[in-house]
Amino acid sequence: MPRDAALLATLQATLAPHAATLTRAPGATIRPLPPTDSIASRRLGDVLHRLRDDAAPLELEEELGRGGMGVVRLATQRALGRKVAVKQLRPGAGDEPSALRLLQEAWITGAVEHPNVVPIHDVDFGGADGPLVVFKRIEGSPWSQLLADPGEVRRRFGIEDALEWQLRTLMQVCTAVHYAHSRGILHRDLKPENVMIGEYGEVYVVDWGIAVSMRDDGGGRLPLARDVCGLAGTPAYMAPEMMAGDGAQLGPHTDVYLLGGLLHALLTGRPPHRGATPLELALDALRADRELPPDTSTELAAICHRALAPDPAARFESADALRHALQAFLDHRSSDGLAARTEARLVDLLARVATPRGGFEEQLEIYRLFGECRFGFRQALESWPGNARAAAGLERATRALVERELAVGNHEAASALLAELERPPADLVERAAEARLAAEAERRRVEALQRLATDLDARVGRRMRVTFAAVMALLWMALPVWRLATGTEPESYASMIRSPLLFALVALALAVLGRRTLLSNAFNRRVVATVVLALFAQTLLNVGSALGGLEMIRAQILGHFMGLCCTGVLAVTLVPRLWPAALTYGAGFLLAMARPELHGAASVACNSIMALNAWIIWGRRA
pLDDT at 307: 96
Asked if pLDDT for residue 73 goes beyond 50, the answer is yes
Average pLDDT over residues 111-119: 91
pLDDT at 51: 47
pLDDT at 449: 81
Asked if pLDDT for residue 519 goes beyond 50, the answer is yes
Asked if pLDDT for residue 301 goes beyond 90, the answer is yes
Cβ atoms within 10 A of the Cβ of 351, count? 11
Going by pLDDT thresholds of 50, 70 and 90, the confidence category of residue 517 is confident
Parallel, antiparallel, or unpaired for β 120-124 and 185-186?
unpaired
Going by pLDDT thresholds of 50, 70 and 90, the confidence category of residue 24 is low
339 alpha carbon, distance to own chain's centre: 9
pLDDT at 44: 47
Cβ contacts of 475 within 8 Å, gap of 6 or more: 503, 506
Per-residue pLDDT tens for 219-246? Answer: 777 888 888 878 888 999 999 998 888 8
Measured distance CA(183)–CA(203) in Å, rounded: 20
Which of 253-257, 338-342, 468-472 is least confident?
468-472
Measured distance CA(225)–CA(504) in Å, rounded: 119
Q: Whose CA is closest to 615, among 474, 459, 466?
A: 466
Most confident residue range from 51-60, 144-153, 411-420, 469-478? 144-153
Asked if pLDDT for residue 63 goes beyond 90, the answer is no
Going by pLDDT thresholds of 50, 70 and 90, the confidence category of residue 94 is low
- Name the percent of the chain in helix, strand, coil, to the closest 5: 65, 10, 25
pLDDT at 410: 76
Measured distance CA(183)–CA(331) in Å, rounded: 30
Contact between residue 296 and residue 267 where contact means Cβ atoms under 8 Å apart: yes
Describe the crossing of helices 552-573 and 599-617 by its angle, rounded to 10 degrees.
Answer: 20
Going by pLDDT thresholds of 50, 70 and 90, the confidence category of residue 67 is confident
533-549 burial, b at 16+ Cβ within 10 Å, e below that, comes to: ebbbbbbebbbebbeee
Q: What is the mean pLDDT of the chain?
A: 83
Per-residue pLDDT tens for 428-450? Answer: 777 777 777 777 787 888 888 88
DSSP assignment of 477-521: HHHHHHHHHHT---SSHHHHHHHHHHHHHHHHHHHHHTHHHHTSS
Asked if pLDDT for residue 14 goes beyond 90, the answer is no
To which H or E segment does residue 196 belong? strand 195-198
Q: What is the dihedral of CA 121, 125, 131, 135, to 10 degrees?
A: -10
Per-residue pLDDT tens for 372-396? Answer: 999 999 999 998 888 888 999 998 8
Phi, psi for residue 72 in degrees, rounded to 5: -110, 125
Asked if pLDDT for residue 28 goes beyond 70, the answer is no
Asked if pLDDT for residue 34 goes beyond 70, the answer is no
Going by pLDDT thresholds of 50, 70 and 90, the confidence category of residue 622 is very low
Q: Whose CA is closest to 584, among 555, 605, 557, 553?
A: 605
DSSP assignment of 146-186: HHH-HHHHHHHH--S-HHHHHHHHHHHHHHHHHHHHHTTEE
pLDDT at 495: 80
pLDDT at 147: 92
Asked if pLDDT for residue 608 goes beyond 80, the answer is yes
264 or 36, which is more confident:
264
- Residue 18 is given by DSSP the state G
What residues form DSSP beta bridges with 66? Answer: 71
Which of 311-320, 325-334, 555-564 is least confident?
555-564
Average pLDDT over residues 504-521: 84
Measured distance CA(620)–CA(458) in Å, rounded: 13
The full length of the chain comes to 622
Average pLDDT over residues 174-200: 94
Going by pLDDT thresholds of 50, 70 and 90, the confidence category of residue 279 is confident
Q: Whose CA is closest to 123, among 107, 139, 108, 111?
A: 107
pLDDT at 318: 96
Parallel, antiparallel, or unpaired for β 185-186 and 195-198?
unpaired
Going by pLDDT thresholds of 50, 70 and 90, the confidence category of residue 560 is confident
Per-residue pLDDT tens for 140-179? Answer: 899 999 999 888 888 888 888 889 999 999 999 999 999 9
Average pLDDT over residues 486-498: 76
pLDDT at 487: 66
Q: Whose CA is closest to 344, among 397, 382, 395?
A: 397
- Residue 27 is given by DSSP the state T
pLDDT at 429: 74
DSSP SS3 for 139? coil
- Sign, Cα dihedral of 565, 568, 573, 578: positive
Radius of gyration of the chain (CA): 55
